[in-house]
Chain A
Amino acid sequence: MSQRNNSGAARRRREASAVPEPRRVRPVPKRKLENKKMTRGHGASRPAKRGVRAKPVKARIGSMDYTFLMLVLVLVTVGLIMMFSASYPAALNATGDSFYFIKRQLLFAIVGVAAMFVASRVPFQILHRFALLLYGLSIVLLIVVLLLPEQSGVHRWITIPGVINIQPSEIAKFSIVVLFAHLISINYEKMKDPRYGIWPFLALLGVICVLMVLEPHLSGTILILGIGIIMMFVGGADVKWFFMGGLAAAVLVAIVALMPGIIPYAQTRLNFWLDPWSAPRNEGYQTCQSLLAIGSGGLFGVGIGNSRQKHLYLPEPQNDFVFSIVCEELGLVGAVLIILVFVLLIWRGYVIAMRCRDRFGSMLAVGLITQVAIQTILNIAVVTNTIPNTGISLPFFSYGGTSLVMLLGQMGFVLSVSRQTTLEKLE
């Protein structure tokens, strides 16, 4: 069947359905979105191709969660502005073009938003089918990346110059979310049984983690572990295992802390975390510069565009440390407002998950939104030196094309979950 017909029909149907919906009587923004979507009509073709292979689960499409959509768009917009502000001196210095980073990021953002709308129209249930496939693909890519030559001392990127630059770990993250959601949705009744609720998950997680540690990519590993564990918890695994795991982790941390030398660089890293000013020019440099940037912001900030620390003092201001510049330029007030938008987004994501009538969709939303939450928390914790420095980017803000596209695509799936909720409600 023709995807164009399909989407066209869907649009028509939603237009019809939007009017009677009692909860959302907001015709103006909706129409705006309609218009946008119409201009990107052809972009909707590709995911629908998958739809060719998928059996027609649903012919009808519900209204998506506009609160969530707005929050995502706000974050993408603010993220782009702040990334540009933070990055232009670094861009000018590195490439001679102030717009180097923003041009690319803007392009990827457009692609990403398009991907989000496309994904939002894809019935998420098709991911059931791809769960194992995605996982397998991740494993293959994670092995391939280990065989490729190092970049910046680590095996983290698969690069086809000028075409694409992907991190297999990003795909692995997504595959874990999908696979876990899949497993939880089918094994929900047996989740209390460790044979179903614990060990398979740990095994699946373990393989990915081992491969990622080999890259090495510690921050990504932590992220995946976090997402996985939270999904297991929400999915219904027995709480005692989490206590036991927590205890084991605590013991492990205590051992590392009390017996310096077990992990060779752990102790010094710990020291630089506790007192970055002990080596402000070496190991503590990035952290110190970040603290100086944040501290310079004060309550209201130095004003947008006026950051001084971005002028090559703070390394990578466009990337992991973009939030330091946000804090410097917008101050505590601006930073808290942005954090609030993140919190709202996460809250809305969880609301979508709770409202979903399908466990798979619910768990999918939980996994995807938890990923955003953990990444945000860890990133801000790193730039404020609340936790030791690990390379975690800030969703919607940090420079990185593929990850932005993937992130927006994943948000699209969350929206897809929300659509079906509203649809089912209507029914």
Chain B
Amino acid sequence: MKTPPSYRMKTRMVMVLAAMIVFGFCVVIHSLFQIQIVQGAELQERALGQQMRTERIGAKRGDILDTNGKALAKNSTIYQICVSPGDLKIKVGENADKMKEKRSAVIKCLEEILGCNPDTVAEALDNTASFYVVVKKKVEQDDYQRLMQEVNAKDLKNVIFGEEMTWRRYPYGSLASTVLGFTNNDNVGAAGLESYYEKTLAGTPGRIVSLRTQGGAVMPMQYEQTYDAKNGNTLVLTIDEQIQHYLEKNLEIAVSEHRVKNRVTGIIMDVETAAILAMTTKPDFDPNDPYTITDPDWLQQLQEAQEESFQQESVARTEEEKAAAKKIYTDKLWVARNTLWRNKAVSDPYEPGSVFKIMTLSTALETGAATVNSHYNCIGYVEVAGRKIHCHVWNSRHSGHGDQDLTQATMNSCNPAFIRIGQSIGTARFSEYFSNFGLTQGTDIDLPGEANSIYHARLSDADLASSAFGQTNKLTPIQLITACCAAVNGGKLMQPYVVKQVVDSDGNVVSNTAPFVKRQVISEKTSEEVRGILEKVVSEGSGRQARIPGYRIGGKTGTSEKLDQADSTTGDIPHILSFFGFAPADDPKVACLVLLDEPDVYNAWGSTIAAPIVGSILSDVLPHMGIEPQYTAEELDKMTNQVPYLINFDLHDAESELRIRGMRYRVIGSGSKVLQQIPGAMETLPEEGSVVLYTDEVQEDNVIEVPNVVGKSPEEANSTLAGLGLNVYMNGGKLEGVASIAISQSPEAGARVPSGSVITVEFTERDPAVENTLSADSPEEGDGE
């Protein structure tokens, strides 16, 4: 047995060893090299991908403030209330009655405090396999706390619980909603400023990056890094909540007054800086609940669509037909939402009509194609490129405006005259100034969805003619008002903007928006001439209804035909009525453009409909801006104290009538037509009194019981009565600084009168001797004096 291994065995051992090293160990070392060195970086990244967990630290979204710091959008904490039906499951060997009792307590609790439908809650509780069913979203802090008290008291803690959430809140509801936009369910901006400034507002969520085991636990002694959250910045807007409110109030009235089909848009701009003071399109939406349609017209359309949808579904045979039937409603809903969300002021170009004549006028004066002394003869029409273009007076008069100078032509908004002016400017210069006024590109305002204008790059003669009076080219309202401001502010085309300041969460200013002059379009002198002519338009021309006593208003009406949307069967052409106004005319501070897209009115002209709206808006806005009225002698003369007949007037017209007379007024009701006025027509309005216009039937709560003012001083009597909304007519010895006393009143104390009624109070000079004996029940005594 003791034989050593043979040579062959040894050779073979060496062979095996060599083979194992070459084919075994070298191969695996090669594999390791491949994996660790060649693919190392990639695999390491992949490994980190599964090992790293990132936890978000939420960043607080910035607020949106108006120019005075009022919050237009802010965050609030709300709760989502959930139930856990699984915890009400009746387990074997447990008291079933107790569970049933608990169950009814849950239903009762939710119904009483949150107003949940008991049936839906009961249904949710039936699903005992679940431990998480949301029963009510968006529960306020107060309600949540009340609920939790009740839950603790009744020991329902496991069954009812709340989840804290951050919700974007818009305290002013629909105010400026088309500008502000809204956030989606993930608190990400979905429209308007919320979307345009998403990055600024959202901030940067922080992260905790750590290595986690497969189970998710933090690895011991391992890498962890925290990146702090950076809260979003706050936007301070140029928009003034109060001005925005005035604009919206007036446009809301206009929508119902004129049954406007395609919404009403209005922009108020600081003439000097092109800062947007207010911007809206009505009807709009409530950003607190952007998906719900509240506009009655759209609601009706949706209901019709739903009915049609149901009807088609009931007769539908195939699944596709059913789906198509359902789609009728859902499509309509999306059209409604998208329409109401749309910011027409920047997104929808339209043919500006005669408002554009401001540009033509400015260009003509600047280029010398016309001077204030130029004369134009209007015979009712003009022939351009073999086609007759009529003046707007042709239909009524079958003649023209006759001979007019440039100012008169503008006041009359005479199309043939402006065609002539356009022709004398010529296509080249017209196009140059068109472009200089910033009308060939967007304004770059800081709002999403800005559309560009649609214009002729090369004008034919016919194009030039119609362009000159504002047809053919389509401009967005923001482009138009910016260009119009340039025409009246001394010729500077400004960059319009909405956000004037960005502030970080600690209140430090991050950035300020400085007004930016894009270019000098026309000279200061031309601009002054334009201002003068446009003031005449309001004081004496087609814009008369925008007049406000005490203020110098300039403006231009516009009536544009939507020729491209003419009804093919009836030939009816829908209109857009607009008015651009600015004040004060000698040193413009504020400008307002209002346009009504397809108002449903007979013989609609911008002069009769849009102008009084702008007048009404400016009469609210100017005092708010601290621009005090300065009455001219002529205006003071015109001011009477006889109330005009206003019943059945459109509200804006009635307001315009009263404004011209310098009368103060109040509107009661939400209608758009005046149903009753107090004092009545031809009655005398007491000094410092105000006319009350009723747009709804007089309601019981507007009837006021007349208080007793006998024995009171004039100041006391006045404040008592005026405070109740009554007008006071003071008779007798009412003298400032002299002791007077009321000795009688009519109607008597205790009578019930509508708001605004005039109470006549007789005063007499106070006799110190009778002061002590004078009592309320001795009116006759003073009667004789």
Contacts and interface: CB of A to CB of B under 8 A. Distances in A.
A381 B25 CA distance: 9
Q: What secondary structure prevails in chain A residues at the interface with B?
A: helix
Contacts of B24: 373-374, 376-377, 381
B16 A230 contact: yes
Interface stretch (A6-14, A254-262, A307-315): A307-315
Interface string A262-275: 00000000000000
A380 B1 CA distance: 38
A66 B27 CA distance: 29
B520 interface: no
Contacts of B396: none
Interface string B4-20: 11101110111011001
Interface string A184-198: 011010000000000
B341 to A, nearest CB: 42
A358 interface: yes
A406 interface: no
A291 B45 CA distance: 12
Given A308-B219, A353-B5, A386-B27, A299 B36 contact: yes
A380 B27 CA distance: 10
Instruction: Tell me which of B14, B24, B27, B51 has the highest count of chain A C-beta atoms within 10 A of its own C-beta.
Output: B24
Interface of A: 89, 93, 125, 185-186, 188, 230, 233-236, 291-299, 306, 308-309, 311-313, 327, 331-332, 335-336, 339, 342-343, 346-347, 350, 353-354, 356-360, 362-363, 366, 370, 373-374, 376-377, 380-381, 384-386
A174 B460 CA distance: 104
B29 A188 contact: no
Interface in B27-44: 27-29, 31-37, 39-40, 42-44
A373 B20 contact: yes
A295 B5 CA distance: 44
Contacts of A295: 35-36, 39-40, 42-44, 46-47
B10 A354 contact: yes
Nearest to B8: A236
A38 to B, nearest CB: 32
Contacts of B39: 295
A234 B13 contact: yes
Classify the secondary structure of B's interface with A.
helix
Interface residues on B, range: 35 or more
Contacts of A309: 47, 51
Given A295-B40, A309-B47, A313-B50, A356 B4 contact: yes
A331 B36 contact: yes
A332 B12 CA distance: 31
B29 A336 contact: yes
A21 B39 CA distance: 51
A89 B213 contact: yes
Contacts of B8: 236
B4 A308 contact: no
A236 B12 contact: yes
Nearest to A382: B28
Given A346-B17, A350-B14, A359-B3, 8 more contacts: A236-B8, A296-B48, A298-B44, A308-B222, A313-B51, A327-B36, A343-B25, A360-B1
B32 A359 contact: no
Contacts of A311: 51, 211-214, 219
14 contacts: A188-B6, A293-B47, A296-B43, A298-B44, A312-B213, A313-B47, A327-B35, A336-B32, A346-B20, A353-B5, A362-B4, A376-B24, A377-B27, A386-B28
A89 B213 CA distance: 9
Nearest to B43: A295
Contacts of B34: 384
B21 interface: yes
B2 interface: yes
A294 B5 contact: no
Nearest to A385: B31
Nearest 10 Cβ contacts at the A-B interface: A295-B43, A377-B24, A312-B214, A311-B213, A384-B31, A292-B47, A380-B28, A362-B5, A332-B36, A357-B4
Contacts of A299: 36-37, 40
Contacts of B212: 311
B13 A354 contact: yes
Contacts of A294: 32, 35-36, 43
Contacts of A374: 20, 24
A366 B215 contact: no
Given A89-B213, A332-B37, A353-B13, A291 B43 contact: yes
Contacts of B42: 295
B46 A377 contact: no
B224 to A, nearest CB: 13
Contacts of A358: 1-4
A182 B12 CA distance: 18
B36 A339 contact: no
B17 A291 contact: no
B54 to A, nearest CB: 16
A339 B219 contact: no
Given A332-B33, A346-B20, A234 B28 contact: no
Given A346-B17, A377-B24, A234 B12 contact: yes
B36 A354 contact: no
Contact of A366 (B4, B13, B21, B43): B13
Nearest to A309: B47
A131 to B, nearest CB: 13
Nearest to B50: A313
A159 to B, nearest CB: 28
Given A188-B6, A339-B28, A381-B27, A308 B20 contact: no
Given A298-B36, A343-B25, A386 B5 contact: no
A76 B594 CA distance: 90
B32 A236 contact: no
Contacts of B32: 294, 327, 332, 335-336, 380, 384
Interface string B362-398: 0000000000000000000000000000000000000
A299 B35 CA distance: 10
Contacts of A125: 1
Contacts of B20: 346, 370, 373-374, 377
A376 to B, nearest CB: 8
Contacts of B17: 346-347, 350
Contacts of A339: 25, 28-29
Given A339-B25, A384-B35, A93 B5 contact: no
Contacts of B46: 292, 295
Contacts of A336: 29, 32
A381 B10 CA distance: 27
Contacts of B29: 336, 339
A374 B212 CA distance: 36
Contacts of B12: 233-234, 236
Contacts of B13: 234, 350, 353-354, 366
Given A295-B43, A359-B3, A386-B28, A234 B9 contact: yes
A312 B215 contact: yes
A360 B50 CA distance: 53
B681 to A, nearest CB: 85
- Count chain A CB atoms within 10 A of each CB in B5, B10, B29, B42 and give the residue with the most: B5
A409 B33 CA distance: 34
Contact of A308 (B2, B25, B211): B211
A60 B130 CA distance: 79
A331 B40 CA distance: 10
Given A295-B44, A308-B222, A354-B5, A381 B31 contact: yes
Nearest to B46: A292
A291 B44 CA distance: 9
A230 B14 CA distance: 12
Contacts of B51: 308-309, 311, 313
A327 B39 CA distance: 14
A381 B23 CA distance: 11
Interface string B232-256: 0000000000000000000000000
